Amino acid sequence: MRLFSPMQTPGAFRKIAASTWRRANDPQLFGGADIDFTAASAFIERYNERFGVKITPTHLVGRAAGLVLARYPKANAKIGMWRIWQRNSADVYFHIATEDGEDLFGTKVRAADGISLAELERTLHAAEQGIRDMTDKGFVRSRRIMLALPLFVLRPFIALTSFAANELGIDLSSSGFARDAFGGAMVTSVGMFGLETGYAALTPVARCSMCFAIMQLRRRPWVVGDRVEPRPVLRICATFDHRILDGHLAGLVAREVEDLLSHPEKLLTETERPEFLQAAPAVVPSSDRPAVDGTRLPSPRL
């Protein structure tokens, strides 16, 4: 008995599709979640007031990504030279747009699991200024090369530099292309575009195993106990490399990120935790605030 038989009436669409696309070889895995940002919003306000910085949801997500990479090292890996390599540092890459919004570049924060939110804010602010003021030499150098080369030359050039940096481990920092320039995770904020939902593609040259796209923080209806009330909700859309993360590991990462953002005090470093907790009482999400009779109470409103 034959396993297959020719389809007699495939239709025009199927014939066009079969002629247009090659066989599936895209390893991207997509998933998203809405997170009650009530506690995180209050946390951001208190943190900024206490430490004199201006952290945003992007900083919280980036810090959470660093902690997740450190907690699940198998997710912090890349494929190169026909082997799977595990990174020894939880590095996170943050996208930064140029002043005119025409270009998108970014910066890698090394060991994002070990720095405070305040340090992260200052690091990203300095990187943003360097990119938008055109004072970052590495950024200016690589951008000049990209703009100068025509597409038919740029394609093999990028392939060659990617092979040298990612496969052979050659440091091309002097040319604006450092080894493992993107780390294990990417964070990009697209809330300013007003998108409800959007997934970022994993750039082949980056070798990141995950990317978190942050949507606009909005007030949405949220179920609290047996009623519905408006709450600030942050939607995060994640893209995973299915070659590195299977469904089980991707689920662990997603739940860990959601837990960290729902309980933002877990994002504090050990050195700043006592100072922050002494300065103000914690705001606990409603799902974790049982009443005396066992029912759930809402968190304080913003």
Pair of tokens at residue 212? 């978190």
Which tops the pLDDT comparison, 101 or 108? 108
Highest mean pLDDT among 36-40, 150-154, 167-171: 36-40
Q: Tell which residue, 220, 223, 50, 73, has the closest CA to residue 121.
A: 50
CA–CA gap between residue 160 and residue 69 (Å, rounded)? 28
Domain count along the chain = 1
pLDDT in tens, 222-236: 999 999 999 999 999
Helix then strand then coil, % of the chain, to nearest 5: 40, 20, 40
Pair of tokens at residue 274? 């006592």
- Among 1-15, 128-142, 143-157, 201-215, name the one with the lowest average pLDDT: 1-15
Residue 16: pLDDT over 50: yes
Residue 203: pLDDT over 90: no
Look at residue 67 and tell me if it is in a domain: yes
| Torsion angles phi and psi, residue 44, rounded to 5 | -60, -45
| Angle in degrees, CA 194, 113, 98, rounded to 5 | 40
Residue 296: pLDDT over 60: no
CA–CA gap between residue 66 and residue 212 (Å, rounded)? 12
Residue 294: pLDDT over 70: no
Look at residue 129 and tell me if it is in a domain: no
Mean of pLDDT values over 32-37: 96
Which residues are CB-contacts of 41 (< 8 A; sequence separation ≥ 6)?
A: 217, 232, 302
Inter-residue contact 262 to 41 (CB < 8 Å):
no
Strand-pair partners of 96: 105
Whole-number pLDDT of residue 39: 96
Decide: helix, strand or coil at residue 294. coil
Structural domain including 83 reads: 29-117+180-285
Look at residue 267 and tell me if it is in a domain: yes
Look at residue 140 and tell me if it is in a domain: no
What band does 282 get if pLDDT is binned at 50, 70 and 90? low
CA–CA gap between residue 68 and residue 250 (Å, rounded)? 11
Inter-residue contact 89 to 65 (CB < 8 Å):
no
Q: Which helix (H) or strand (E) holds 277?
A: helix 273-279
**Average pLDDT of the chain to the nearest whole number:** 86
Look at residue 123 and tell me if it is in a domain: no
For residue 216, the domain's CATH number is 3.30.559.10
Look at residue 75 and tell me if it is in a domain: yes
Q: Which helix (H) or strand (E) holds 104?
A: strand 104-109
pLDDT in tens, 41-69: 999 999 999 999 999 999 999 999 999 99
CA–CA gap between residue 36 and residue 60 (Å, rounded)? 14
Beta strands in 179-226 (DSSP E): 185-189, 210-214, 218-224
Mean of pLDDT values over 58-81: 95
For residue 165, give the DSSP letter: I
Look at residue 226 and tell me if it is in a domain: yes
Residue 259: pLDDT over 70: yes
Inter-residue contact 35 to 18 (CB < 8 Å):
no
Decide: helix, strand or coil at residue 246. coil
Mean of pLDDT values over 168-172: 84
Highest mean pLDDT among 72-81, 137-146, 273-282, 293-302: 72-81
What band does 99 get if pLDDT is binned at 50, 70 and 90? low
CA distances 151 to 31, 49, 103, 148, 158, Å, are 33, 48, 16, 10, 10
pLDDT in tens, 186-199: 999 988 888 889 99
Look at residue 172 and tell me if it is in a domain: no
